[in-house]
């Protein structure tokens, strides 16, 4: 029996419903499913020089050695979705801390890349007194740069609404109604901007008062230096709590997450990578806030509020929560080390001449000799060689007094004044002929001694030789 007309209409209607049902499922999967990883996503890293930007990026890349660049440096992080066997490269731009390079920011963050950018602000625990000023400075640089861009007004407004929505929809890990499947990404982290109205009055006090429309993560690097601050600069827990409450207030105003990291001790580096991929690609993330360890703090965006921050105020005894940051975290006065070249001092002239005198006579003068042969440090105006003319060493046997007179004239010459030896005690000029005679006598005596040493000894002159040797011992 052939089907009735009414039965055919029912069958056709069911077929249409099935087609519409499958079409609806496919559209829903396409819209809210798990698309491929977006290859256009990027991170822009801002911060002062020596704030640990390059080392942090190297840790995110999973490499040990990092090379510092200048200006605007580019790197990338390999991101892999293990559950879907999908991978991509996450671009990373690192801006130099020199203010002269701020104009280069336009090559990394512009109208085309604005909606796909996450910003990391880095500060270092090695300079805790400058943390708040640096955060405020780079926030101002970022805001000024965005104002200069020719961004679509609706696009920027949607991004601001998206930031508010993410904050309000934050759910503490473990509080979800249904356990998150590893195969399901959070659609609210994929950048879907719903056009529904958002009640900004629902935001907690002091939250997103400076909404730039960008995901921001504040990273405090080198937290292992806290131990040095405690030992060398007498930092206590209240100082660390005072710093943390100011940093958290800044993050609250900008809707930013907060990380304390240490590449040296490998603290929170892996957690930072997981959080970034969660915020950028919507990967599952189940780590709650960490506030117990003072050098490994983690505050996810959406978790914090003024009431939670006020818990830190209980440990502040010598300072108040509203005190000026620099009045409590004071920069120590350090003297800049000046590198000086090693100075080589020449030997004192008088000491050198004293050695020369001793070598000329075969040793130090004997105690029985006149004190005029001994040397002493010379200060001021020295007696002229005229005074030595009357000394009995002039009439010493063998003409050795002439040599002594000659060496003493050198010893009493004033250093640095070549004409001093020609001025007597009263200030008058000394006779040049007398000085010339003295030198000629000294030369003649030296020649005489040289001839005596070269002449062969004779038996007839034994007595004379012994007398000469006796005289020589007196010298």
pLDDT class for 161, splitting at 50, 70, 90? Answer: very high
Distance CA(390)–CA(402), nearest Å, equals: 12
Strand, coil or helix: what is 255?
Answer: coil
pLDDT class for 426, splitting at 50, 70, 90? Answer: very low
Strand (E) positions, 161-317? 215-221, 257-260, 298-299
Comparing 425 with 295, the larger pLDDT belongs to 295
Strand, coil or helix: what is 360?
Answer: helix
Distance CA(276)–CA(118), nearest Å, equals: 9
Give tens-digit pLDDT for 307-317: 999 999 998 99
pLDDT of residue 25: 76
Give tens-digit pLDDT for 109-136: 999 999 999 999 999 999 999 999 999 9
CB distance 144 to 236 below 8 Å: no
Share of the chain above pLDDT 70, in %: 65
Distance CA(245)–CA(309), nearest Å, equals: 6
Quote the DSSP letter at residue 320: -
pLDDT class for 370, splitting at 50, 70, 90? Answer: very low
Q: Which residues lie closer than 8 Å to 126 by C-beta, 6 or more apart? A: 50, 222, 225
DSSP 369-386: S-GGGS-----SSPPPGG
pLDDT class for 140, splitting at 50, 70, 90? Answer: very high
Distance CA(457)–CA(465), nearest Å, equals: 8
Domain residue extents for the chain: 36-174+183-328, 349-452
Mean pLDDT confidence for 181-203: 55
Half-sphere exposure of 70 (CA within 13 A, CB side): 1
Which of 147-156, 181-190, 406-415 has the largest mean confidence?
A: 147-156
pLDDT of residue 348: 82
Closest CA to 279 of 178, 161, 163: 163
CB distance 376 to 348 below 8 Å: no
Lowest-pLDDT range of 52-66, 267-281, 435-449: 435-449
Mean pLDDT confidence for 356-384: 53
pTM: 0.64
Half-sphere exposure of 475 (CA within 13 A, CB side): 21
Q: Give Dmax (Cα) for the chain.
A: 173
Q: Report the CATH number of the 36-174+183-328 domain.
A: 3.40.50.300
Q: Which residues lie closer than 8 Å to 201 by C-beta, 6 or more apart? A: none
Distance CA(244)–CA(257), nearest Å, equals: 13
Q: 185 pLDDT exceeds 80?
A: no
Compute the residue count for the chain.
475
Query: In Å, how far are 39, 40, 88, 166, 181 from 113, measured between CA atoms?
Result: 12, 8, 17, 20, 31
pLDDT class for 41, splitting at 50, 70, 90? Answer: very high
Distance CA(48)–CA(123), nearest Å, equals: 7
């Amino acid at each position: 029996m052939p089907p009735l007309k009414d039965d055919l209409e029912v069958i056709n209607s069911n077929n249409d419903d099935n087609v519409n049902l499958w079409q609806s499922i496919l559209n829903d999967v396409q819209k809210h499913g798990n698309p491929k990883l977006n290859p256009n996503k990027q991170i822009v890293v801002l911060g002062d020089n020596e704030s640990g930007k390059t080392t942090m990026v190297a840790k995110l890349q999973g490499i040990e050695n990092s090379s510092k660049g200048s200006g605007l440096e580019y790197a990338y992080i390999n991101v892999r979705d293990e559950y879907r066997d999908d991978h991509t490269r996450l671009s990373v731009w690192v801006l130099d801390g020199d203010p002269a390079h701020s104009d280069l920011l336009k090559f990394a963050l512009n109208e085309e890349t604005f909606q796909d950018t996450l910003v990391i602000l880095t500060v270092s625990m090695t300079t805790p007194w400058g943390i708040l000023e640096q955060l405020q400075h780079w926030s101002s640089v970022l805001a000024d740069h965005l104002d200069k861009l020719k961004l679509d007004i609706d696009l920027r407004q949607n991004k601001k609404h998206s930031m508010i929505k993410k904050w309000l929809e934050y759910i503490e890990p473990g509080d979800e109604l249904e356990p998150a499947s590893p195969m399901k990404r959070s659609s609210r982290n994929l950048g879907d901007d719903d056009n529904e109205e958002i009640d900004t009055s629902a935001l907690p006090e002091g939250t997103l008062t400076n909404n730039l429309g960008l995901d921001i993560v504040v990273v405090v690097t080198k937290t292992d230096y806290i131990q040095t601050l405690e030992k060398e600069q007498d930092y206590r827990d209240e100082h660390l709590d005072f710093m943390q409450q100011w940093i958290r207030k800044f993050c609250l105003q900008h809707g930013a997450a907060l990380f304390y990291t240490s590449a040296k001790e490998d603290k929170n580096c892996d957690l930072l990578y997981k959080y970034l991929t969660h915020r950028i690609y919507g990967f599952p993330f189940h780590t709650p806030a960490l506030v117990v360890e003072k050098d490994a703090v983690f505050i996810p965006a959406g978790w914090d509020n003024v009431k939670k921050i006020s818990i830190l105020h209980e440990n502040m005894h010598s300072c108040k929560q509203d005190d000026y940051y620099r009045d409590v975290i004071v920069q120590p006065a350090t003297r800049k080390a000046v590198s000086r070249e090693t100075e080589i001092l020449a030997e004192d002239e008088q000491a050198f001449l004293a050695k020369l005198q001793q070598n000329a006579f075969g040793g130090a003068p004997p105690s029985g000799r006149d004190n005029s042969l001994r040397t002493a440090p010379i200060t001021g105006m020295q007696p002229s060689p005229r005074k030595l003319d009357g000394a009995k060493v002039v009439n010493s046997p063998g003409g050795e007094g002439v040599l002594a007179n000659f060496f003493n004239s050198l010893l009493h010459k004033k250093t640095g004044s070549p004409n001093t030896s020609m001025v007597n005690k009263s200030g008058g000029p000394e006779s040049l002929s007398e000085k010339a005679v003295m030198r000629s006598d000294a030369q003649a005596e030296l020649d005489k001694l040289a001839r005596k040493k070269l002449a062969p000894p004779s038996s007839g002159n034994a007595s004379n030789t012994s007398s000469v040797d006796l005289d020589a011992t007196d010298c």
